[in-house]
A and B are shown apart, each in its own frame.
Chain A
């Protein structure tokens, strides 16, 4: 099989993932899109490893080994990512990325106080949750 097929496929996958990351609103869909991008990279790794090992006399298949690493790490990443999204959803009632803008500067003059206040409020909310 020519190298172009898997390369084009992985480029398409990557672009789909990129589009998902940039355009989707739901955090879970964004995470899924990140997975797509990772798998595009995996595909590339395997394809180029096979292509390169054809000409080499001796090879360790390092591309394929790296793919295994990426898969393992991606599994961990998606686990943590989903856990965070779940926690955020429980806490805020939404997983909409457009609404999670806590890092932005607020437009009132004493922003620090406001931050402290919200932190306090969320603290109180957590406490209430724990007691419930």
Chain B
């Protein structure tokens, strides 16, 4: 088979799997699991084949136009360069791991068939986005991912948190997608094509009329999808979905789609200095604030969600200083270790029966209950904190190294201001990242208090994938930083001495300070008992998690916060803690800016409809109603009355005819 055929099959197989899963889910439950896992695994194999064949050489381009669509043609196009090939392998790997993990995680879930089909559909859409060479086809995948995310976040729709979160995720990303769509149209109008290659050609020849406007409109969509400030608020709430979904969609792939999109069209963004500075500021604010917020969260998955936002900020930062190689490198290594973190968190939530770190810190020996999750999560957290030689170190140093290059004037691809912003924010975030990674590890695994509950071993499907993902988290960076430049733009990704020392140094400082704070506060855990544990610990992991999410608010008063004086984050952030736990009140801002006006408008419309329009309608109906009431009187139900009326009418008519005929 040619590379093109293979590449077409990669997104097509999960799509067919999803359709078959939806159709057969009820009638043939035995086929659901193979239909979920096998197409995704096959896709992974095919994506790897495509990557091997492409090999970082010239991009594979193929296009076919189904039908002429008027002004600017829309083509089914593939554009597979090194970036696309490798990102597709990552998507395939994470999706396969998640599908296998889900068979254990949602073992007894009655809605597993539709869940698995939606995950397959999502995988197919993401692969379409990755391989697509046409912006409209890319947009189709982009929106399908959005709707899959909506359905999957709302998987536990019995809980009000999940319902609210799925709506929020959908609406907030749409807030970005509308400008994104307009941006795409503006871009196509200027460039005369939706094909990525032609658009980049138009950018190179300088024939774009409004590069800044287009870049800023597209940035809005990217901010929504990739959860960048100020459209990041949906991602922490999206943790109300099942953990495998968080791992696949809200950590490794969909949120990376925005970053990947900019990486594809980076020359377009580079054409506008303003857009690059905006991107840099956005990345810096996102990184720093999300890291602070992560330090204050109580829900283990929300910590990881804010961490995802921060790491996506690193990727945007790398793009803002004009190096997509570093950005996609971080995307790949982050995809692996963050998926691992989430999947391990799912195992921990199942074992502990709670998603609250405060409750976990009061459990002894939780790490002995879940040894696989303990070891793999340690690896992933070290990768997240960018400690050498884990993969996160190399990718993060690549980002910081590029920023340093820009600052010192080695390259003129980006304004120096952007370089400074990214570098300073990146180093600050490195401290905080190490701090919250340390806090998460200490609270989850070094708890003291009552013995952790024992529910037996976790299903094999859930622990094996952890080790599968641990391998790239451990070693991807070290092996890849020399090879990846061949696949990407050819620029060096090896860590530079200055940023390596600085980055590792601040990470160690962050970790050690947190450890000190924890030693200081941990004595308080015994004095303040806390804890809410799921009501059905013997159920499957999905049920435990749904109950944990539903009970967090009644138990602690807030979905993100627990009144725990033994939390080292509280000591470290002391005055900021309250604001950081609430995500710096972005939700309140949105509430004031969007939700309240919309609600006020809705109540006005309701008043107009109920009181004004309704009155006219009632008035118009009154006369016919009266007439009807009068006519109804004649209907007595007695047949003889009717016949008498008939006779009377006939007599009158006959007399009238006689009178007319005689001319009287």
Contacts and interface: CB of A to CB of B under 8 A. Distances in A.
B635 interface: yes
A18 B635 contact: no
Interface stretch (A55-63, A72-80, A97-105): A97-105
A21 interface: yes
A21 B643 contact: yes
B643 A103 contact: no
Contact of A97 (B632, B635, B639): B639
A97 B640 CA distance: 8
Contacts of B643: 21-22
Interface in A15-51: 18, 21-23, 30
A18 B640 contact: no
A22 B640 contact: yes
A22 B644 CA distance: 6
A30 B643 CA distance: 12
A98 B638 contact: yes
Contact of B638 (A18, A21, A101, A105): A101
B636 interface: yes
Interface in A51-102: 97-98, 100-102
Contact of B632 (A30, A101, A105): A105
Interface residues of B, number: 10
A21 B640 contact: yes
B637 interface: yes
A94 to B, nearest CB: 14
A51 B640 CA distance: 35
Contacts of A30: 640
Contacts of A22: 640, 643-644, 647
A104 to B, nearest CB: 3
A104 B647 contact: no
B633 to A, nearest CB: 8
Contact of A105 (B635, B639, B640, B647): B635
A101 B640 CA distance: 11
Q: How large is the interface on A (under 10, 10 to 19, 20 to 34, 35 or more residues)?
A: 10 to 19
Interface in B636-660: 636-640, 643-644, 647
B635 A103 contact: yes
Contacts of B632: 105
Contacts of A102: 637
A76 to B, nearest CB: 20
Contact of B647 (A18, A97, A103): A18
Nearest to B642: A103
A94 B632 CA distance: 26
A104 B644 contact: no
A22 B638 CA distance: 10
A101 B636 contact: yes
A100 B636 CA distance: 10
Nearest to A103: B637
Nearest to B636: A104
Contacts of A18: 647
Nearest to A98: B638
Contacts of A103: 635, 637
Nearest to A24: B640
A85 to B, nearest CB: 12
B631 to A, nearest CB: 10
A97 B644 contact: no
A2 B640 CA distance: 36
A118 to B, nearest CB: 13
17 contacts: A18-B647, A21-B640, A22-B643, A22-B644, A22-B647, A97-B638, A97-B639, A97-B640, A98-B638, A100-B637, A101-B636, A101-B637, A103-B635, A104-B635, A104-B636, A104-B638, A105-B632
Interface of A: 18, 21-23, 30, 97-98, 100-105
Given A104-B636, A104-B637, 16 more contacts: A18-B647, A22-B640, A22-B643, A22-B647, A23-B640, A30-B640, A97-B640, A100-B637, A100-B639, A101-B636, A101-B637, A101-B638, A103-B635, A103-B637, A104-B635, A105-B635
